Structure 1
Amino acid sequence: MRLLILGGTGPCGLQLIEQALALNHTLVLYLRSPQKLPETITKNPAVHVVEGQLTDKEKLLEAMDGVHAVLSALGPAVKNGPFHPGNTPLAQAYVLLIDVMKQRNVKRLLLLGTASMKDEHDKFSVQFTLLVSGVAVFAHNAYKDVVAIGQTVRAAEEDLIWTIARVPILTEKPEKDFVAGYVGDGKIGTRLSRAAFAAFMLKELESNEWCRKAPLISSP
């Protein structure tokens, strides 16, 4: 497939790129700072780089040409913590992205989310209540943006086939095994390797098991 990847310079995005290339996908990387990626990626013949901002509709339209699906690893930068902008910039980017996808007739969107995006299938969990409450208090603007992303995607027209891969605390472990479910279901934990996040995204791209759903993914 020809895949458009957003957030490719972050640690989750790098995992997506590397695993997608290993599966012989052709990639379009939409990047604000292409120089952050190693030349082993940017010079790969299966990779096409488009430089642009998340607010640049014309550049997004260019990047979306001929794409079969969009995979997004966009999320608030951890280093920004409480200094994330208060105007929900990522949610606004998804509004534009979904509009561009519609114009280019691209219907499949898989994206990174967190447990802050509540789901009707979630049950009570002390661990996740504490995790989400901590983010809401100490990184409120980031929390607000993430919640708004979920609302934006869920409100999209029915022809958009989305999957939100909600993640707990991310780790650098190399294991790619994962379980998918919902908060409080007895099988979901509070840790997930970034490698396993990417593995879930690429498996879901093929299986379409979680269309228009927002499972929480964790390591077994």
Structure 2
Amino acid sequence: MNLLILGATGPTGRHVLDRALAAGDTVTVLARRPEALADLADQVTVVAGDATSHKDVAKAMIGQDAVISALGRSTSVRADDLFTRAAAAVIAAAEEQGVSRLVWMSSFGVGDTYKSASALQKLMYSTFLRNIYANKELSEKAIRSSGLDWTLVYPTLLTKGPAKGTYLAGNCLPMKGNPKISRADVAAFMHKAAHSTEWIQRDAVITD
């Protein structure tokens, strides 16, 4: 598969990248800091650019079969419109280049998944994470109405642990306590979803 990865220099995106290379995909990465992937210069096509730029995304999307986005704001609780701007750029570029498959990472607690959160989680989502979650929700509304073959992935609290391969994934999962999942398992799920029709136009809540 010819695969474009957005957010590949981030902690989850790097797991997606490694998984794709191990699977034999032909990988293109759009990155603001291409030097961060210097160790993979002979294995990956790196396009310098910004995921919020239609022009940059369209350039990177030429010849791709699917797009995986693992874009994030690191430790910031301010979205700065990253997700809405990136979604607009991806949707426009996908239509221009004829690419339909998109796997997009969100967060548990965004949109309808908020209903399944615990009281403590809801407090955090509606206060500290209010800005970033609101922007994520807006971006996902655009993706849902785009006509693309999207999958929206909602991982619970992300950890640095190794992939276990025993995670749970579903449209709606019962939650207890403070559920977690490793970034490596999220990456494995997203990569698998991009190669399958199972999760097209479906939400996927994912947790251990």
TM-score under structure 1 length normalisation: 0.86
Q: Secondary structure at the match of 1:145?
A: helix
Paired residue secondary structure (1:207)? coil
CA distance in 1: counterparts of 2:100 and 2:19, whole angstroms:
22
5 Å-filtered alignment, 1:94-173, equals 94-119=87-112, 124-125=115-116, 127=118, 129-157=119-147, 160-173=148-161
Unaligned runs of 5+ in 2: none
SS at match of 1:67: coil
Kindly provide the CA deviation profile for residues 56-109 of structure 1, in whole angstroms up to 9, marking residues without a partner as x: 32222211110000000012322x23x442xx2321221121111011000000
Q: Distance in 1 between matches of 2:192 and 2:24?
A: 14
**Structure 1 position 162, deviation (Å):** 0.3
Structure 1 counterpart SS, 2:94: helix
Deviates more, 1:165-174 or 1:134-143: 134-143
Question: Partners in 1 of 2:99 and 2:158 — Cα distance?
Answer: 29
TM-aligned CA distance change 1:131 to 1:42, over 3 Å: farther
> One-letter code of the match for 1:103?
E
CA contact (8 A) 1:162 1:213 kept: yes
Alignment of 1:17-32 (within 5 A): 17-32=17-32
SS of 1:19's equivalent in the other structure is helix
User: After the TM superposition, which parts of structure 1 deviate over 4 Å for at least 4 consecutive aligned residues?
Assistant: 186-189
Please give the alpha-carbon distance, in whole angstroms, between the structure 1 residues aligned to 2:6 and 2:157.
20
Query: Partner letter of residue 131 of structure 1?
Result: Q
Equivalenced residues, count: 207
Given that 1:179 and 1:187 are in contact with CA atoms closer than 8 Å, whether structure 2 keeps it comes out as no
Q: Which runs of 5+ in 1 are unaligned?
A: none
Q: Which residue of 2 aligns with 1:212?
A: 201
- Percent identical pairs in the alignment equals 31
- For residues 41 and 157 of structure 2, the distance between their equivalents in structure 1, rounded to whole angstroms, comes to 29
Measured in 1, the distance between the counterparts of 2:84 and 2:20 equals 25
Q: Provide closer, same or farther for how the CA distance between residues 200 and 189 of structure 1 changes in structure 2, counting only shifts above 3 A.
A: farther
Contact preservation (8 Å) 2:6, 2:51: no
**d(CA) in 2 for partners of 1:51, 1:193:** 28
- CA distance in 2 between partners of 1:188 and 1:204 (Å): 27
Q: Is the 8 A contact 1:181 1:188 kept in 2?
A: no
Report the counterpart of residue 64 of structure 1 in structure 2.
Answer: 61
| Alpha carbons 2:3, 2:67 under 8 Å: kept | yes
SS in 1 for 2:200: coil
1:103-151 deviation per Cα after TM superposition (whole angstroms, max 9, x unaligned): 10000000101123333xx695452x43243032013221211111221
Question: Which residue pairs with 2:169 in the alignment?
Answer: 180
1:55 to 49, 52, 65: 52
